[in-house]
Structure 1
């Protein structure tokens, strides 16, 4: 698989959720200029969804367009210790997991954890605010469909998981300086269980890949709690990337009438308590 310096190819670009496709290999896309997001849909016939799709991601999650759904359940994630590899994919830094990394259950369907990667700044906005970074944890079901669990990060204290990866990220940066544009750093066994910490609030909607081919019907879960990472960590995530990909965020897309549903544990508890009080003796 050929990688050309300073450009992202479909097969090795973000690998956000899509597998390589021989028909789209060799088509470059970027985040500015002639190959920027507003041109993606015109770069290749297989990228048409990027321009004409009605279920595109990311979006700005606005209060007035968010609906509390009492039927949503607490997010169930079950991750395990597994082998991992840190990879410079030219336009993002990603971590790929071996088999048995765990899964997430959405609408009674299991999606296995495949990889995670970072965008700087965030792709999704929350109530009009764009944050310093966004983590995408990419899961795939046996039928090939995808579910992405996203976390937003503001500048603040160090993020524990990235703190564990500091030496590996520095090594990835050093490989970039040596001219190795697509370096891989073996991480070995890694424990991802702390990432599945209890989530009291999240947003759910149907969207798309945030990179070409912008395929739709991707289940998105955006965690409501904005976490923190240090400015140094943000720079470490950017450092292996070429200048044109350090800001690797697609602009927000129109909602086009979609419902953004919200789960909130505290609201659910209040409703349950209220229902119990109304029950006759």
Structure 2
């Protein structure tokens, strides 16, 4: 066999192995569901990388009990500085719908550290509950610091007037659904300009605690900031967030996890005056 042919065989094998590896990794990210044999109670046993989902002691989400939340006068107003994005992508993550930012769109400051906004995604119904109350939708804004730490700002939604952010995404959401129905398993839709003003609206109250990612691999030491005032979106918008997803992922809320001695702190502007 000529050297050139040998090289082609090696390259072909390399590509085949790479594709196999990618396929395996892809399978690992979607083999969990929200009910049945691969539901939340079984996540920790699906693969070794998911073990924290069952063994971790600081897992998310949680039920926030107002009577037990400790007011911390040292907490300060949640400082969010987001700007309009001109390069975002709407995608079907299989377990949720996400908006990924492909440029620097701003940050949140938590305990003096700056965390850059990477992406946001939605859960229906809400994952966090307050005094046992579950909300129709919860938005997670995922941020990361330069040293690799993660903080999430969680926004709870009630039904009401249309949400300004989702109004901007309406046509793109329909396009994403169309691509998914056409058989695209990794559908992605370029969005273009997204105005972020509504996401940096002043918050008078929030809860903070240390938890985890709420989907596998359930990585811990995530700082959560759950806004205490529910916002509004229409029922139609909530349905549009579910529409591109497969049936098994349309209700994609992980059950509340045990506190295991953790303390939930609360910032309350009305008590700091």
Q: Same fold (TM over 0.5)?
A: yes
User: Which of 76, 81, 85 in structure 2 is aligned with 1:78?
Assistant: 81
Match of 1:136 among 136, 140, 158: 140
Q: Decide whether the 8 Å contact of 2:57 with 2:260 is kept in 1.
A: yes
Q: Which residue of 2 aligns with 1:220?
A: 224
Structure showing the higher helix proportion among its residues: 2
Q: Deviation per CA, 1:231-267, whole angstroms, max 9, x where unpaired?
A: 1111100000000100011000011111100001111
- Partners of 1:109 and 1:193 in 2: CA distance: 22
Measured in 2, the distance between the counterparts of 1:100 and 1:214 equals: 26
Q: How does 1:261-276 map to 2 (within 5 A)?
A: 261-269=265-273
* 2:72 equivalent among 65, 69, 72: 69
Q: TM (normalized to structure 1)?
A: 0.86
Which of 42, 45, 49 is the aligned partner of 1:46? 49
What secondary structure does 2:191 align onto?
Answer: strand
Contact 2:164–2:198 under 8 Å retained in 1: no
TM-score of the pair, normalised by structure 2: 0.89
Could you tell me how far apart the structure 2 residues matched to 1:33 and 1:240 are?
21
Cα distance in structure 2, aligned partners of 1:114 and 1:161? 16
Matches within 5 A, 1:94-105: 94-105=98-109
Secondary structure in structure 2 of the residue aligned to 1:111: strand
Alignment of 1:169 onto 2:173: yes
After the TM superposition, list the runs of 4 or more consecutive aligned residues in structure 1 that deviate by more than 2 angstroms.
Answer: 9-12, 24-27
Aligned to 1:123: 127
| Structure 2 SS opposite 1:189 | coil
Of residues 102-111 and 27-36 in structure 1, the stretch that sits farther from structure 2 once superposed is 27-36
Q: What runs of 5+ residues in structure 2 fail to find an aligned partner?
A: 1-17
How many residue pairs get aligned? The number is 253
RMSD: 1.8
CA–CA distance in 1 between the matches of 2:236 and 2:154? 21
Tell me the alpha carbon deviations over residues 109-156 of structure 1, each in whole angstroms, 9 at most, x when there is no partner.
Answer: 110000000000000001110110000000001111100000001111
Matched residue SS, 1:194: helix
Larger Rg: 2
C-alpha distance after superposition, 1:35-80 (max 9, x if no partner): 1100011111121111111100000001222111000000001111
Deviation string 1:152-185 (CA, Å, 9 cap, x unpaired) is 0111111111011111111111112212232111
Is 1:37 equivalent to 2:40 in the alignment? Answer: yes
Q: Does 2:243 align with 1:239?
A: yes
Deviation at 1:100, TM superposition (A): 1.5
Partner deviation per Cα, 1:73-118 (whole Å, 9 max, x = no partner): 0000111122111001112100001221100000111100000000
